[in-house]
Each structure stands twice: as structure tokens, then as C-alpha cells.
Amino acid sequence: MSFSAMELMICCAARELDDGKTVAVGTGLPCAAAMLAQRTHAPRLIIMFEAGGLAPQLPTMPVSVGDSTTFHRAVLATSMTDVMQFCQRGLVDYTFLSGAQIDPYGNLNSTVIGPHAKPKVRLPGSGGANDLASFCWRTLIVMKHDPKKFVEKLDFLTTPGYLTGPGAREAAGLPANTGPHRVITDLCVFDFAPTTRRMRVKSLHPGKTLEQVQAATSFAIEVADPLGLTAEPTPEELTILRTEVDPGRYILGRAG
């Protein structure tokens, strides 16, 4: 079965979610990934929405974090305050984020492009991104691969990754053993080198090359040894995605 870049990214994200764990998601690709994981290898995955839906059984793709479906047959219908408290107490294993810019250490900018005092573009800001990345155990970042997004230095630090390298998160007062886990793009999957905390290419997507990844990245890339090849979506994953998770193609209809 042929597949799109968006479908591949969703499948990559879903495979990172383990059964019996907790994941804080928003709408869009993160929600699709969590729904796919629940319907395949992680039936006991606990989904949490920022607006307060805890462990719902999602019948369809919600259109917002406050959509009534995010509370469908949920264990708890609570508030943003409680969800953020769960993160601070170390009860949330995964979260998904994106941004306008990312640097080699997984730090994110979603505030401004250009100088903060006189920006070229003003963006939505943190929302809950800083809180989630600070306190959830593993942050999964999903974004389109573009040299304007993958930069050596952020215009503004909205959300912490590994800050300036090994030990920097802990020195800033953030919990140990938390931080960015994977960066999933339309070209490859990155992990983070344990000695440098810099992004490195873990696997290339089918048909993609390291030259393409470097051309789309404004800093020198590191490469894992051995370098892997991202597994293609299986027919089962694609069928579930297309017929159960997003039959209306709200997400699948977007370009990768």
C-alpha cells in the first residue's frame, strides 16, 4: 500500500508509545498517533488532554482539546489545572510538541521570529508547551523538516530541550531524566546522543538520504551508528488510520 509523508510520521510517532503508559496530547497528528497506538500495540495507553479529558475512549478524531469526544467514556473529566499537576508530579510519560524553530539540543521556539522587541512574526507563544516539556518524562517533537525551522540558534527560547547540553536541564532546576526523546520529521527520525545531548539521525525514511537531511538542516547533523531505516507503515496501520482514526481526512489530508 502506498502512503503519504503524514501517514508515515503518524506511524513513527505511534510506535514510540508503549502500552500502559500515559501521554498528554493535543489534537492533530499527536492525537492520531495515540489513537493508532491504542488500536494496535498499546490498548492500555492512557490519553490525557490539556482541557481535562483523562483516559477517554475516542470514537472519532476530536477537532479541539475541548471537543466533547475528548471526554467520551473517560475515567475523569477534570481541568487543565489537574492535568498540569499530573505532569508536575511525574505521572505523565510522554507528550507531543512542535514549534516554529528547533535547535540541536531540542529547544523550541513558538514565540517570535526575529528580535523579541520588534519581531518579524509574532507566534502564539508557549501555551502549555513549556510546562509539558519541563515535567513529562519524554517529549516527542513532530515537525516538517526545513532549514528555517532546524536552526543553530533560536530567535527565542520558549520551551526547554536539553538547553546547552549535558546537565543543563538539571542545573536549571528541571527533573533529572526528562527531556526530548525523538524528533520525527518528513525525512527522518532523530534521537539525542547521550554524551552531547545533540540531535542525531536515528533512521532515514524510505527513499531519503543523509544529504537531503543535511540540506534541510541549518546545523551540522550527527548520525547514529548504526544508522537505521524507518519501517514503512504496515497495511494494518494504514487501514486503521484511514478507516477508524481519520476517515474524514482532517489530518491525513494535510501535506507532510
Count of domains forming the chain = 1
- Per the domain annotation, does 196 fall within a domain? yes
Beta bridge partners of 76: 54
- Per the domain annotation, does 162 fall within a domain? yes
- For residue 161, what is the domain's CATH number? 3.40.1080.10
Residues ≥6 apart with Cβ < 8 Å to 12: 182, 184, 189, 230
Output Rg (C-alpha) for the chain, integer angstroms.
18
Q: What is the pLDDT of residues 32-52, one digit of tens each?
A: 999 999 999 999 999 999 999
- Per the domain annotation, does 26 fall within a domain? yes
- Per the domain annotation, does 112 fall within a domain? yes
The pLDDT value given to residue 212: 98
The pLDDT value given to residue 27: 86
- Per the domain annotation, does 19 fall within a domain? yes
Task: Find out whether 191 and 182 touch, Cβ atoms under 8 Å.
Answer: yes
Q: What is the pLDDT of residues 53-87, one digit of tens each?
A: 999 999 989 988 888 999 999 999 999 999 999 99
- Per the domain annotation, does 254 fall within a domain? no
The pLDDT value given to residue 255: 65
The pLDDT value given to residue 256: 57
Active-site annotation holder among 50, 170, 211, 232: 50
Query: For 141, phi and psi rounded to 5 degrees?
Result: -110, 130
Boundaries of domain holding 239: 5-245
- Per the domain annotation, does 100 fall within a domain? yes
Q: Is 50 a residue of the active site? A: yes
- Per the domain annotation, does 250 fall within a domain? no
Which runs of consecutive H residues, i.e. helices, occur in 58-206?
80-88, 129-135, 168-171
